[in-house]
Amino acid sequence: MLPPAVLAEFAALLGPERARADADTLALYAQDETPGRCPPEAVLFPTSHDQVADCVRLALEHQLPITPRGAGSGNVGGAQPTPGSLVLSFECMNRIVEFDPANRLIVVEPGVVTQDIDQLARSAGLMYAPDPGSGAYSRIGGNLAMNAAGPRAVKYGVTRDHVLALRAVDGSGRELRTGGRTSKYATGYDLTRLLVGSEGTLALITEATLKLVPAPERTASFRLCYASDTAACAAVQRIMRQPVVPSALEFMDRRSIDAIKEYGAAEGLPPGTEAVLMVEADGPAEDIPRQVAALEAALRGDGLLELQTGFTPAEIQNLWTARKSLSHAVKKIAPLKINEDIVVPVSRLAELVAAIDAMATLHRLPIVSFGHAGNGNLHVNLMVHPDDEDEMARAETCLRELVETVLRLGGTLSGEHGIGNKKRQFMPLEIEPDTLALMRELKRVFDPRGILNPGKKLPD
């Protein structure tokens, strides 16, 4: 338990309401969206960069680790407290500092909700392109720390591609300012790209200057039903080989379709559907017919059972119904979802899907895979009962086999969810010892006493 005198020191910095150690607050901040919980010693709610720096200095003085937190929607345990740590929540640093449409940029504090940035940008005909599924509640600091992404990444890129500059506090309490306000910037080392995706282990981000892009005028959607996973994966390859880049290219495998059927949400899918692709095109209104024609030509091929197109918001929403029901449908299969977020080169997607199918049979596990096929990024969900020891042991073996398969296919452990405390044991399988050692040295430079989010990202 945190000595009351130490809590009082934090309260003196932040105000009594913003340094809390009551049981309800500790319980609320003991977990994120990942299974497992560990109550922190206290929860801090700074309201400015200077307060964050003061908190880090005081934490250093008392040797207290800090777990940074946005909305706690992460699913790799990144915001899960480690024993004895303080949670530093950014939710009260939620101001838009500057909106500058002329220079296509916005400066925000880390606690701003992701979707609010996009909404404000749209008022000036611009958009903030990264669109994680959790954007209605995730905070931009969490997105930056995890290098979050969503369906639009296939055309517009991931969070890292939309950051011009950062202000941050490192593990010594030093202020860092990285990058600038211009779209071209070649001065110094690119610390901006290093901090994005560093999962709160190198520095606490206190302000971000984000790039905005013109909002597309029109959107068109396709829903395509295929007779097999193989046919759908072949269509993904054809799409990515031709020049019109879709603004979304999402895949649902055979077991996803089974889950939707069992949930009763498969109405409208033709009989024999074993895989579905959701595809979007966006851009100037006059360019949409050209894009639709090119994408349609690429999507047609062996195994296509049905192609539907939507142009109005109602038509588009209707086409996405099956996809939107998937997360509820999956929950019916088993109480615990072990959610992997692996990526392979698009040309190897079919091999990956076939390998997952074989693993599901071999290990007798329901495995549901869907996700951002245009990036080769699949969310592979092993559905398990946590109190079934035999099933959990089979899931563990299967997980390792999955990671090994992904690496053999030239892929990577995580596309957007990050490593957190859940996947770091697999890091040595992907990253060579010398590179891993350099990463540890970098960690020591930014955080010599190891107080920033210990137990995350790097393996012990």
The 3-class SS string of 422-439 reads CCHHHHHHHCCHHHHHHH
Q: Which run of H or of E encompasses 252?
A: strand 248-252
| Between 274 and 340, CB nearer to ligand FAD | 340
Region binding ligand FAD by CB under 6 A among candidate stretches 35-43, 69-77, 210-218, 385-393: 69-77
**Least CB distance from residue 132 to ligand FAD, whole Å?**
3
Closest approach of Cβ 36 to ligand FAD, in Å? 13
Cβ 337 to ligand FAD, closest distance in Å? 11
Closer residue to ligand FAD (CB): 71 or 344: 71
Question: And the tokens for 340?
Answer: 């992997």
- Residue 149 as a binder of ligand FAD (CB under 6 A): the answer is yes
CA distance linking residue 243 with residue 258, whole number of Å: 33
Q: Are strands 203-211 and 163-170 parallel, antiparallel or unpaired?
A: antiparallel
> Residues 88, 46: contact at Cβ < 8 Å?
yes
CA distance 214 to 124: 9
Kindly tell me the sign of the dihedral angle through the C-alpha atoms of 11, 17, 23, 29. negative
Where does this chain touch ligand FAD (CB under 6 A) — which range of 65-73, 173-181, 185-193, 260-268? Answer: 65-73
Minimum CB–partner distance for residue 98 and ligand FAD (Å): 18
Candidates 74, 171, 173, 216; binder of ligand FAD (CB under 6 A) is: 74
Toward ligand FAD, which CB reaches closer, 170 or 274? 170
Residue 167 or 254: the one with the smaller Cβ distance to ligand FAD is 167
Interaction of residue 139 with ligand FAD, rule CB under 6 A: yes
- Residue selected from 49, 69, 255, 337 as contacting ligand FAD according to rule CB under 6 A: 69
- Number of chain residues interacting with ligand FAD (CB under 6 A): 36
- The CB-nearest residue to ligand FAD is 142
Should residue 283 be labelled a site residue for ligand FAD when binding is judged by CB under 6 A? no
Shortest Å, Cβ 70 to ligand FAD: 2
Nearest to 258 by CA among 363, 369, 350: 369
Which of positions 92-131 make contact with ligand FAD (CB under 6 A)?
Answer: 110
Closer residue to ligand FAD in complex, CB, 226/251: 251
Q: Is the dihedral of CA 185, 147, 371, 409 positive or negative?
A: positive
CA distance 43 to 20: 5
Q: Are strands 86-89 and 105-108 parallel, antiparallel or unpaired?
A: unpaired
CB under 8 Å to 362, separation ≥6 — which residues?
398
Assess 34 for contact with ligand FAD (CB under 6 A): no
**What character string, x for contact with ligand FAD (CB under 6 A) and - otherwise, covers 176-205?**
-----------------------xx---xx
Q: Which is nearer to ligand FAD, 305 or 378 (CB)?
A: 378
Q: Is 71 in the site for ligand FAD (CB under 6 A)?
A: yes
Query: Does 40 contact ligand FAD by CB under 6 A?
Result: no
**Residue holding tokens 């369906």?**
151
Cα(108)–Cα(140) distance, rounded to whole angstroms?
8
Using CB under 6 A as the binding rule, the residues of this chain from 375 to 434 that contact ligand FAD are 416-417
Sheet harboring 66-69: ordered strands across? 19-20, 42-44, 86-89, 66-69
Question: Which residue blocks in 213-331 are alpha helix, DSSP H?
Answer: 229-241, 254-263, 288-299, 313-319, 321-331
Q: Counting contacts by CB under 6 A, is residue 132 touching ligand FAD?
A: yes
Polymer length of the chain: 460
d(CA 117, CA 125): 13
Q: Where on the chain is the footprint of ligand FAD (CB under 6 A)?
A: 32-33, 67-75, 78-79, 90, 110, 132-134, 138-139, 141-143, 145-146, 148-150, 199-200, 204-205, 416-417, 453, 456
